[in-house]
Amino acid sequence: MEQNELRNFSLRLKDIAKDLSFLGHPRFPLKTLNQIFPQHKSFISQLEDVSLPFPVDVPTKRGAMDAFMEDLARSDLSLLIKRIFTQRIQDYHTLLTMMENFDTPMFYDCSVKLYGSSHKMAKNNAFLYFLEQMPSFTRPDLGVKGFEASAGMDFLRGKLCDVFHPDDFEVKASTSLLSDSSSGRRTLKLNPNKNYSHKQLEVFLVHEGWVHLGTSLNGAAQPDHLWLGTWAPRTTFLQEGLALLTEIITGCLTPERWNRVVLRHLATSMAEKGSPINDVYAYLRHHEMEDLDAFKLALRVFRGVPLEGGFAFTKELLYLHGMIELLYHLHFFKADLRSLWAGKMSFEEHLVLLDHKNEIKPQIKYFPAGLQTKDVEERLKKLKELSFSLFHQGFL
């Protein structure tokens, strides 16, 4: 009976989460963007304007959440599961508030609530030392950009078939991405307007494919705990940290890629401290980022917030912050990589799975064999050792 009840609540949670991934399809003040960046008129024409409403009936969605919480309180589910579901519902309420306050300072306040801020980290000397040492973990990309997008997608399909059943996923082109690649529940998308090097495709493979796609497929395949297949903002911290960590320990991370990750962090910090979008864009161009790439990253940083500065969409911080939190997590809780592939989960939820694995029994349908090599173990060990200074300095 309890398993049926758990399944029912998991399905209801999944239904509530539907349509709340609007952060991946944001609106922008297109008239203002065209005035500031006339050179990017073509790309701007593919974006949606802030005047267009999101396809969500907010009162109905909040009503469904309230009914969910009332039924959850009366259910026979364990207190652990009730706490997980309650925290996720709270996240969804925050998302709805963000939706209602798009393009306002309130959006930024909600973003900080979900994803944190750069202010504390920028003043931490141990964090800065960590960043300075990280290039030693990178490997140069010596290959030419010889893969056109169609060949790149074929490459990714073939490599993903080594890990996942071909019926479980698809690879397709998308022209509206604010990055070169992304993944959904069962789809990996690639920008079709670029050529790619072998190293770049390897990064997409492990970051978007092995991690984001793999945890989605594993979560959806859970026999009882279907909530592990459902996204919530609190799962992003672990997801992005795990994706970046996987790039590093598989030897895929290049100096250029690492610089891009750091620039995401610095651009977000600039926006939070008052820099407007045109200044952030100029800063990225000054650091030799290609014109359109700099514009797309500036858009990512200013998703949902006013363009004049003082605000940012702070999810861009989670690549670095999530990786450091994950190193702490792996070291102090003696966690293994494989258990992180059970589905979409937060750090707190992962600890629940570790502490109650005989009760929850998470299934791991897919886990990349490329993460079970001696080289991966050695890189992870060295990365943990480098991160010890952060722990001793009270970073977390």
Tally Cβ neighbours within 10 Å of residue 279: 15
Give CA–CA dist 364/370, Å, rounded: 15
Give 123-142 pLDDT, tens digit per residue. 567 777 888 889 999 998 88
Question: Model-level pTM?
Answer: 0.92
Query: Is residue 330 within 8 Å of residue 322, measured between CB atoms?
Result: no
Residue 1's pLDDT band (cuts 50, 70, 90): very low
Alpha helix (H) ranges present in the chain? 2-17, 30-36, 41-44, 58-74, 79-100, 105-115, 119-122, 125-133, 149-161, 198-204, 214-220, 234-249, 255-272, 277-286, 291-301, 318-332, 347-355, 357-360, 374-392
For the stretch 101-110, pLDDT in tens is 999 999 999 9
Q: What is the pLDDT of residue 203?
A: 94
- Residue range 80-88: average pLDDT? 95
Between CA 152 and CA 150 the distance in angstroms is 5
pLDDT at site 141: 85
- The answer to whether 328 and 334 have CB atoms below 8 angstroms apart is no
Per-residue model confidence as pLDDT tens digits over 297-353: 999 999 999 999 999 999 999 999 999 889 989 988 888 899 999 999 999 999 999
Q: For 240-292, how does the pLDDT look when each residue is reduced to its tens digit (9 = 90+)? A: 999 999 999 999 999 999 999 999 999 999 999 999 999 999 999 999 899 99
pLDDT band at 205 (very low <50, low <70, confident <90, very high): very high
Residues near 13 by Cβ (< 8 Å), separated by ≥ 6? Answer: 68, 85, 88, 89, 227, 230
pLDDT more than 70, % of the chain? 96
pLDDT at 236 over 90: yes
In the predicted model, what is the mean pLDDT of residues 360-377? 93
393: how many CB neighbours lie within 10 A of its CB?
Answer: 14
User: Is the pLDDT assigned to residue 144 strictly greater than 80?
Assistant: no
Residue 37: alpha-carbon gap to chain centroid: 27
> How does the average pLDDT of the chain come out, rounded?
91
On the 0-12 / 13-18 / 19+ scale of CB atoms within 10 A, 278 is middle
pLDDT tier, 122 (very low <50, low <70, confident <90, very high otherwise): low
Give yes or no for residue 395 having a pLDDT over 70.
Answer: no
pLDDT at site 396: 47
Read off the pLDDT of residues 147-180 as tens digits, 9 standing for 90 and up: 899 999 999 999 999 999 999 999 998 887 778 8
Q: What is the DSSP string of 42-83?
A: HHHTTSEETTSPPS--HHHHHHHHHHHHHHHHHS---HHHHH
Q: Give the model's confidence band at 391: pLDDT under 50 very low, under 70 low, under 90 confident, else very high.
A: low
Q: What pLDDT, in 10s, does the model give residues 13-35?
A: 999 998 888 777 789 999 999 99
Position 120 confidence tier, pLDDT thresholds 50, 70, 90: low
Contact assessment for residue 242 and residue 25, using Cβ atoms and an 8 Å cutoff: no
* Residue 66 confidence (pLDDT): 97
Q: In the chain, what is the straight-line distance between the N-terminal and C-terminal CA atoms, in Å?
A: 41
Q: How far apart are CA 213 and CA 209, in angstroms?
A: 5
